[in-house]
Amino acid sequence: MHCSANIFIVCSGRTTNDPPSVGLILGRRPCLQADAKLWDVVPAYCLLTSELKSAPMHRYLDLSHPIASGMSLYPGTPMPRIEQIHSVEKDGYSEQKLTMHLHTGTHIDAPGHIIQGGKLLDEYSLGSFHGKAITIDCRNNASEIGLSVVAAYEGFIGDADFILFCTGWSQYWGTPKYMDYPVLSPDLCRWIAERTIRGVGMDTISPDPIESEALNCHKILMMKEVLIIENLTGLEEIIDKPVEILCFPIAVKSADGAPVRAVARVIL
Ligand SMILES: [Zn+2]
């Protein structure tokens, strides 16, 4: 049995912003038919509202930079172009054209980005892009983030699917200083790769130095199929808070990387 549009009409009066929980709870009710009329589901609605009242409330934090002119780019990457192709005034509808490299802005890297024959984004299950995240405060760190930084978090990390490194560098987004960022140490990346961590994220443009051709951190992580999310923002707000991260890439066939709308879901 599947939920129908009718069922969502029933819930449209809710003032909370938690549709995933609504969907989850509705999905558990086999009595709701796809062709149910509004009056058929009213008794179910009464039950649902009592369940929803006790459901946890969430806040969503945007961890993504907008795609816009003037954004920071890896050397050699062209600036994205957003063109107005049609307008309501001339054509009766508005349509814009976006031209950009896939590794631009807040995006996710798949192993195939660096490793010949490596896994591509559409070979990962959707669940790979959602999980528990712990954000480590690296704002007072040197130019390289090493193993000592994670020592204090060892107890929390055991349970995490994603580790996010907050360097505070997103404040320099769009300025030359953004390119002079702290990197991860290869030892730290090896430590991550030895665990069951599915992804790492950072508020910088790369885990490796900008001038690196060896891309050691990328390679160490990608050999274990650890996803890398680059150019995050707003990590300061979730330091030390256990959150869920959602970082679904746009659905591009056989992509070695793609822009994501990275979001943290915080339980209130
Ligand atoms: Zn990338």
pLDDT digits (tens, 9 = 90+) for 116-172: 999 999 999 999 999 999 999 999 867 999 999 888 887 778 789 999 999 999 999
How far apart are the CA of 217 and the centre of ligand 1, in A? 12
DSSP-assigned beta bridge partners for residue 98? 82
Residues 6 or more apart whose Cβ sits within 8 Å of residue 264:
60, 61, 63, 133, 234, 237, 238, 243, 244, 245, 246
Domain boundaries, the chain: 5-55, 81-267
Architecture category of domain 81-267 in CATH? 3-Layer(bba) Sandwich (3.50)
How far apart are the CA of 109 and the centre of ligand 1, in A? 5
How far apart are the CA of 218 and the centre of ligand 1, in A? 9
Q: What is the dihedral of CA 149, 62, 67, 197, to 10 degrees?
A: 40
- pTM beyond 0.75: the answer is yes
In angstroms, what CA-CA distances link 20 with 17, 26, 56, 187? 9, 10, 11, 38
How far apart are the CA of 152 and the centre of ligand 1, in A? 28
77-98 residue pLDDT tens:
999 999 999 999 999 999 999 9
Would you say 47 and 41 are in contact if contact means Cβ atoms under 8 Å apart?
no
Structure tokens at 215: 């891309």
